[in-house]
Structure 1
Amino acid sequence: MNPLSGVRIVECASFVAGPSACLTLGQLGANVIKVDPIGGAADHQRWPLAPSGHSLYWTALNKGKRSLAVDLRSDEGKELVTALITAPGPESGVFVDNSVGRRWLAHDTLAARRDDLIHVRVQGHPDGRPAVDYTVNAEVGIPGITGGDESSAPVNHVLPAWDLITGMTAATGVLAALRERTATGRGSYVELALADVAAAGVANLGWLAEAEFRGGDRPRQGNHLYGSFGVDFETGDHQRVMVVALTEGQWTALQEATGTTEVFAALEEPLGADLKLEADRYRLRETIAAILRPWFAARTLAEVRERFDAGRVLWSHYRGMADVVAEHRSSTADSVLASVDQPDIGPAVAARSPLRWDGEYDGAAPAPRLGEHTDEVLTEVLGLSQARLGALHDRGVVAGAASAE
């Protein structure tokens, strides 16, 4: 299913937010042309790396795109990219970037060439200051409430969640602007700051309002789920599982599967609690966990799995990423994961779009080599002749896959 088939998007972005936005749009069928400087942008060799030395990070975020390598410092290179961004056509003129300080990519400069241009710019802070996921996460207070209570030091996260959410928000902005242009003929300039996404995220969860009413931050909870019951347990064969009981039904299922219904019922009156209520399960979380731990310690993971799956308990087994890959490699089931034969890397695990159309996943395409589509794009979009392309290559204005890196 390719609902965005025919839409052409030019991307001048690096790291996570902008590339993940365009990856998503490309997986919906858009023709994404990624513009990079000759030699690659700052993220072109970012870790993790394949044994060949090529970036697994860059190739994962740029699957299915076409790559154009240009000398972005030269006047000729700037003109080529500007012409590409503002090329005519009802489904072209869409630009996503995170450029800083490049006046020639400013919206008013580009819109002077095409007044219905859709331009989505990803920023760090709305005032132009730089930021990355790990700095804005610190600014909104997440590291201060992450981890256990044994230390007062902040605990950084590993997942660049705000980057990924910013990417999805940028993709939403592109789709909304396309809808606006279809309805009115007007272009749009949409600015999206990573710091705003993070602030909006914690505000939309009610966490900022909670801090204001508390007069301070919530206490750290370790692996306990805040405001309800959920925590990890170790099984008899030294595996770990996460168990969650958000609803009354989930709490009932957990009690029945572990044979503790009567035990917890007997505790309610002396403890002044109604464990059907989330607040009381949270208040007594350590007591509940202490009662349940021996049950897990007496059983293997396989026994826990059999009992919990049969009883529809909300739970999961802690796995390493290598375990996820091994399961994918051994499974014949259709899933969001796929294997692509990535140039310069070989067969690699990749993701398809998580959107399933009529119950089906779409395919996964490899990422291009840097500059792989330079000549193809300039011929197709700008109509450059072979002689003109040859001259541009000779002067080092553009590069193909053989020389771009």
Structure 2
Amino acid sequence: MELAAPLAGVRVIEFASFVAGPSAGLALAQLGAEVIRVDPLGGNVDHRRWPLSEATGESLYWNSLNREKRSVALNLREEAGRDLLLALATAPGPDAGILVDNAVGRDWLSYEALAARRPDVISVKVQGRADGGAAVDYTVNSGSGVANMTGPASSSVPVNHVLPAWDLLCGQEVVSAVLAALRRRDRTDQGARIEIALADVALAAVANLGWYSEAAESGERSRHGNHLYGAFGVDFATADGDHVMVVVLTPRQWSALGTATGTAESLAALAASTGADLSTDEGRYAQRDRIEALLAPWFAARPTAQVHAALTAAGVLWGPYRSTAEVAAEFAAHPEATRVLAAVEQPGVGPVISANSPMRLDEAYSGTGPAAALGADTAPVLREVLGLDDADVTRLRSAGIIAGPPAT
């Protein structure tokens, strides 16, 4: 018998843009929740965010982050449209009354306004900063200290990141908050007012790694380029001009690296001449440049395929460097090899590379599906959740309060 998804029956209203809130909504949807994304008429500020499809001009970003959600479009400039959003967020039901938003400064969507309609409402608000100030991933990262630790050892210029890591981590904090609040409400009938500041997520994560404590004791950490900090790990170029990343974290991996590259004796001689204990992370880290110099010729003399085979056979901890285009091409050629990825036909775009949830439940991936067109579910949602009839929907559409296809 097929088991129900863990969050089947749970309804979450998402009124959020960019990455943190929408990524949380996607994760909750892939766990089985009914996630209803609400946007202003014409789309929120992220509706046209890059990357765009070269074929159709549609946002690949928006259509990827909003898969498997229902889409409602409302005229939120009007009180009637705002009232519909409040009604959706506070609709009755033991698994309803959950709102995820990043609408800072909108008094009409405050916790007090929600709780006045449903005292046990669960409200999770994503903020930039805890003091109410604006922030996005890239401004938060610059203030966290991480950009000053990233980049070539020869440079003192801060290096921004491409991946919105803090946004994605914040999204998972939102998921945790929703599930924890829902669990508490199931037991106590209490709602929850939860606020999560993106800047707090970044500072907490860096502190939890011990990096601020290190700086307080020892000052700013110097840059290491592609070298791993505190252990041995660095990239090597092959004869084909490709690169592989090699990491050593255990004695077995250290032994395997010497065996694979035929440098065990040379590495032992290095240990003897320097007095370094290369059986430890500390010893290998201190001698990282010399170790790299000993190993580099082996990689440079061999084609990539031979390097990959030798490292794998010996049990070395390593990984290839691939561009996003190479990953996409490999998926197209061998879709079964990377099961977390999946091909989806996205209306308005065409075939796209999508993803299942990385969480395998009962040994199975979640499955995936396309994003709904903006406002496509407005009429059905208003009828199902709020009990409106076709006349109500027609009246709202005529008044310019809702968008989407006619009720059917």
TM-score bin (small chain): over 0.9
Give 1:250's aligned residue: 253
Q: For residues 150 and 267 of structure 1, what CA distance do their matches in structure 2 show?
A: 26
2:398: which partner in 1? 394
Structure 2 SS opposite 1:154: coil
Post-superposition CA distance 1:54-106 (Å, at most 9, x none)? 10000111000000000011011011111111111111000000001111100
Moved more, 10-19 or 304-313: 304-313
Task: Please report how far the alpha carbon of residue 272 of structure 1 lies from its aligned counterpart in structure 2 after TM superposition.
Answer: 1.3
1:354 to 358, 380, 391: 358
Contact 1:147 1:220 in 2 (8 A): yes
Work out the CA distance in 2 between the residues paired with 1:189 and 1:175.
13
Q: What is the aligned residue count? A: 401
* Conserved? CA contact 1:369–1:401, under 8 Å: no
Who is 2:16 aligned against? 13
Q: Is 1:374 the counterpart of 2:378 in the alignment?
A: yes
Contiguous gaps of at least 5 residues in structure 2: none
Quick one: which of 13, 31, 36 aligns to 2:34?
31
Question: Runs of 5+ in structure 1 lacking a partner?
Answer: none
| Letter of the structure 2 residue corresponding to residue 318 of structure 1 | Y
Partner of 2:387: 383
Counterpart-to-counterpart distance in 1, 2:280 and 2:405: 61
Q: Distance in 1 between matches of 2:405 and 2:278?
A: 63
Q: Could you tell me how far apart the structure 2 residues matched to 1:43 and 1:79 are?
A: 23
Paired residue for 1:343? 347
Overall identity of the aligned pairs, in % = 55
For the 8 Å contact 2:331–2:338, the answer to whether it is kept is: no
Measure, in 1, the Cα distance between the counterparts of 2:113 and 2:41.
Answer: 23
Alignment equivalent of 1:285, drawn from 279, 285, 288? 288
AA aligned opposite 2:91: A
Equivalent residues of 1:45, 1:54 under 8 A apart: yes
- Structure 2 counterparts to residues 1-400 of structure 1, below 5 A: 2-51=5-54, 52-214=56-218, 216-331=219-334, 332-333=336-337, 335-400=339-404
Q: In structure 2, the residue corresponding to 1:302 is in which secondary structure?
A: helix
- Superposition TM-score, scaled by structure 1 size: 0.98
CA distance in structure 2 between the partners assigned to 1:246 and 1:83 by the alignment: 54
Amino acid at match of 1:117: V
Alignment-mate amino acid for residue 144 of structure 1: N
Runs of 4+ in 1 over 2 A off after TM superposition: none
> What's the CA shift for 1:110?
0.6
**AA matched with 2:106:** R
Which amino acid in the other structure matches residue 335 of structure 1? R
Where 1:391 maps in the other structure, the secondary structure is: helix
C-alpha separation in 2, matches of 1:263 and 1:269: 10
Question: Contact 1:370–1:401 (CA<8 Å) still a contact in 2?
Answer: no
> d(CA) in 2 for partners of 1:359 and 1:259?
40
Are the equivalent residues in 2 in contact too, given 1:118–1:188 (CA < 8 A)?
yes
Matched residues in 2 for 1:276 and 1:368: separation?
Answer: 55
How many angstroms apart in 2 are the aligned matches of 1:236 and 1:80? 63
Task: Quote the offset at 1:149 in angstroms.
Answer: 2.2
State whether residues 166 and 198 of structure 2, in contact with CA within 8 Å, keep that contact through their aligned partners in structure 1: yes
What TM-score comes out, normalization by structure 2 length?
Answer: 0.97
User: Taking structure 1 as reference, are residues 150 and 401 closer, same or farther at Cα in structure 2, changes over 3 Å only?
Assistant: farther
- Counterparts of 2:151 and 2:405, CA distance in 1: 45
Whole-angstrom CA distance in 1 between matches of 2:240 and 2:337: 28
CA deviation after TM superposition for structure 1 residue 150, in Å: 2.0
What SS does the corresponding residue of 2:222 show, helix, strand or coil? coil
- What amino acid does structure 2 have at the position aligned with 1:27? Q
Distance 1:306 1:85 in 2: 55
